[in-house]
Amino acid sequence: MPRFAANLSMLYPEHAFLDRFAAAARDGFKAVEYLFPYEHDAKELAARLRDNGLEQVLFNGPPGDWAGGERGIACLPGREDEFRAGIEQALRYADVLRCPRIHVMAGLVPEGRDRADLRPTYVANLRWAAKVAASLGVNVLIEPINTRDIPRFFLNRQDHAHELLGEIAALNAQVQMDLYHCQVVEGDVAMKIRQYLPTGHVGHFQIAGVPQRHEPDVGEVNYPYLFDVIDEVSAQCGWEGWVGCEYRPAGATSEGLRWMKR
């Protein structure tokens, strides 16, 4: 089985956020990811990780005005200074949390704008982010996200993400391959794992049941089959990453983890 990381932004809603580290450790997780650490002191988060024997394997760069509906600003012309300040803040947290990868959310295509017009800004921002992150040994990840969950999101498909990596042209820029989004947008998930994982350009997986985004054993995707594919291809290409459990538990989180005990 792959190595699973608990997404503390979605799992354990029964607990306050800072108590979720201990809850995940009690359920046997050795790693966590979450959206945004920024409302917490980095040292407090590092203490939760240390006290519970957990690795921080991913978090997101600042997304812009999340409450106002923004989902990243990397594709938005005129926001470059804010973007750079956000990446520098994220890297300060990554240093304290010893987190090796940051998900840089692309942002929404503004009404009346064409996605293609935003591509140069997006590529320039990700090139800059990768360059500064490389100095700290941190990878920057880009994630295709479906437009049912996030209408107008800039990046939706795996092939587009890998094309953009070619333009960003940074060894530490990789794709965050969320299999939930991949199934919603494209399907043919197993073959896309076989196509992209051996390239070395997949930095992280995430999973959730489709279509409800509950546990992976609730819905149309045969995750045991996909876990075997990830294990098989990882063994062939030496991939040693993590699979983030980015789903909304249908009931109590711990009881819902039966899918992990295969």
Interface with ligand LJYKPCYY by CB under 6 A: which residues?
35, 60, 103, 143, 145, 178, 181, 206, 246
User: How far apart are CB 235 and ligand LJYKPCYY at their closest, in Å?
Assistant: 26
- Which lies closer to Mg ion via its Cβ, residue 53 or residue 187? 187
CB closer to Mg ion out of 50 and 160: 160
Residue 220 gets which letter from DSSP?
S
Q: What does the alpha-carbon distance between residue 75 and residue 155 come to, in Å, rounded to a whole number? A: 10
The closest residue (CB) to ligand LJYKPCYY is: 178
Task: State in angstroms the smallest separation of the CB of 81 from ligand LJYKPCYY.
Answer: 23
Do the beta carbons of residue 102 and residue 109 sit within 8 Å?
Answer: no
| Closest CA relative to residue 102, chosen from 135, 137, 60 | 60
* 3-state class (DSSP) for residue 259: helix
Q: Cα(202)–Cα(229) distance, rounded to whole angstroms?
A: 14
Q: In angstroms, what is the minimal distance from the CB of 124 to ligand LJYKPCYY? A: 22
> In a 3-state reduction of DSSP, which class is residue 59?
strand
Token pair of 51 as six digits: 């006290």
Positions touching Mg ion (CB under 5 A) are: 178, 206, 246
246 is catalytic: yes
| Residue closer to ligand LJYKPCYY, measured from CB, 212 or 236 | 212
Give just the sign of the alpha carbon dihedral 72, 76, 79, 85. positive
Say if strands 243-245 and 4-7 run parallel, antiparallel, or are unpaired: parallel
> What is the Cα–Cα distance from 152 to 119, expressed in whole angstroms?
14
CA–CA gap between residue 92 and residue 34 (Å, rounded): 16
> Is 39 annotated in the active site?
no
Q: Which is nearer to ligand LJYKPCYY, 178 or 215 (CB)?
A: 178
Residue facing Mg ion at closest CB distance: 178
Q: How far is the CB of 232 from Mg ion (least distance, A)?
A: 23
47: left (phi over 0), alpha (psi -120 to 50) or beta: alpha
Identify which of residues 105 and 230 has a Cβ nearer to ligand LJYKPCYY in the complex.
105
* Catalytic residue from among 143, 186, 215, 240: 143
Active site residues: 143, 246
